[in-house]
Amino acid sequence: MNYFDNPDYVVAVVGAGRGIGKAAALHLARHGVRVACFDREGKAAEATAAEISRSGRDTIAHGLEVAEESTIPPAIEAAARTFGRIDALVNCAGVTGRTNIPGHEVELEDFDQVYRVNLRGAFLLSKAVLPHMLARKYGRILHVASIAGKEGNAGMTAYSATKAGLIGMVKSLAKDYVEHGITINALAPAVIRTPMVEALPQATIDYMTAKIPMRRCGELEEAAQMISWIVSPACSFTSGFTFDLSGGRATY
């Protein structure tokens, strides 16, 4: 089903070089959306953009490291100049940090790095796109959080804490902009079959999958379909909400 009927609609996807971000960028492009592909690895973003270009859709690619504030405004401004607008932001940037570590053994340096990407980076991205949305009194922002932000995962203190913070940030920001035609939501996946998940220790994956009633990982296309609806005009009366994508793990 296609929720986009405006050929000028522009979505900026952060983390478009791989995983959920790439799947979302390709899915959006297939449905007629112009996509700005951002990734910490510029070549990965360019590869996704090249794939989109072959389908005949307008796209750009730009390197963007959410942990480095100076890289964010130039990338967002490049998209705004190229397309003349930014209708939506999909933020898929995220790191787990070291896992299977009890909280008292977590190194502060590791915790800080996870925070800089998962929470501080999301805040900086929001700050960068919101002026463009306010100018047009329309916008959709989606930050990919995690079920760990709701329930906490053992041995993943930094990841769980920063994803919980992201959910709280979304709730607050949504109230700030809800009267300006801008919705701000989060997505809380359980285990989705991505390169990041596949890089986790098997013990961590087993722990997370065992909690999913469907007894399987979510698929990238399932995530992409849900993301597309959330950042489309069709999702017009929901803001400050965290959508679950958990195979029945979360029922609240």
Enumerate the active-site residues.
Answer: 159
Residue 80, phi-psi category: left (phi > 0), alpha (psi -120 to 50), beta (remainder): alpha
Distances in whole angstroms, Cα of residue 144 to Cα of each of 5, 54, 170: 25, 27, 10
- Cα distance between residue 143 and residue 249, in whole Å: 20
Neighbour count for residue 154 (Cβ, 10 Å) = 15
**CA dihedral (235, 238, 240, 245) positive or negative:** negative
Residue 176 CA to residue 173 CA, distance in Å, equals 5
19 close to 195: Cβ distance less than 8 angstroms:
yes
Residue 103, CB-side half-sphere exposure with 13 Å CA sphere: 7
Residue 143 is given by DSSP the state E
Helix (H) or strand (E) holding 149: helix 148-151
Torsional sign, CA 74, 230, 241, 40: negative
